[in-house]
Structure 1
Amino acid sequence: MLDEPFEAVDPVSASIIKKIIRKFVDNGGSVLFSSHVMETVEQVCDSLAVVAKGSVKAFGTMEALCAGRTHDTLADIAESVGMNRDESMAVLHDPSKYANEVRSDEATAKQLGITGVPFFVIDRKFAISGAQPTEVFINALNQASQ
């Protein structure tokens, strides 16, 4: 199990990791990894599962999941985890809808030196890198509220 294996690594290292994974799979192995970067998923995975709130919402090959129902399937998944289905459909039909906000977040992350995920910025004053115990978040939120 690999958690975001291509995040916070340089392109050369990412290419090496992909080759190692491909060789392992070609020799009969299986690799399970998590990623939020669909481009990587498309390049590396033979099949994928969409997991939300601890349960599999969709499973299959990329082609099967996208075949003629991409937007409906993704909107259904979004709705099943509490997102607004209509807003999700609007974004799926116009991927540039939040492009300015995403670019702004990317610029902020670059200014803060963020190179990996998860990374949390609270009130633009407190930064938390990586998976942390609940107490770390509680302390940061308490400090930010003062």
Structure 2
Amino acid sequence: LGQGLSAANGMAMTAKLDGADWRVYVIAGDGEIEEGQIWEAAMSAAQYKLDNLTLFIDHNGLQIDGSNEDVMDVMPIADKFRAFRWNILEIDGHDYDAIGAALHQAQAAKGKPTVIIAQTVKGKGVSFMENAVSWHGKAPTKEECERALRELGGEG
């Protein structure tokens, strides 16, 4: 937990040192960014101008122990990354067009890493899972899986 951004920094820096034109993407949850290592990596990515690095944050406000606000309030996320000199993009994480546009904007940003803060709803579209912290790391039963698939418009 919290180590992905540091690993991604190493990959992005390697690409820069090798003159490679590939990009590095990392996904973190909003609860995960409570880890101190995330903030050290955020400072490092900005210091080394890793503009080939994009961090997605799944911002649904919930984590294993409850709401982020109750466990360890991470707000305001955008302002924290702005203070570390990142390019900030905030989107609806359920809007595929917004995700695609943000990826293009991230690629166009020069001289700094990009964070895409994706506002999401945990368990979106499944009535018994939506915004329910109890589903963090819990597998559905066969019956629950079938019900969820039906609610999402799939076969159940």
The TM-score with structure 1 as length reference comes to 0.26
Task: Select the structure with the greater relative contact order (CA < 8 A; seq sep ≥ 6).
Answer: 2
Q: Which has the higher helix share?
A: 1
Question: Whose Rg is larger?
Answer: 1
Q: TM-score, normalised by structure 2?
A: 0.25
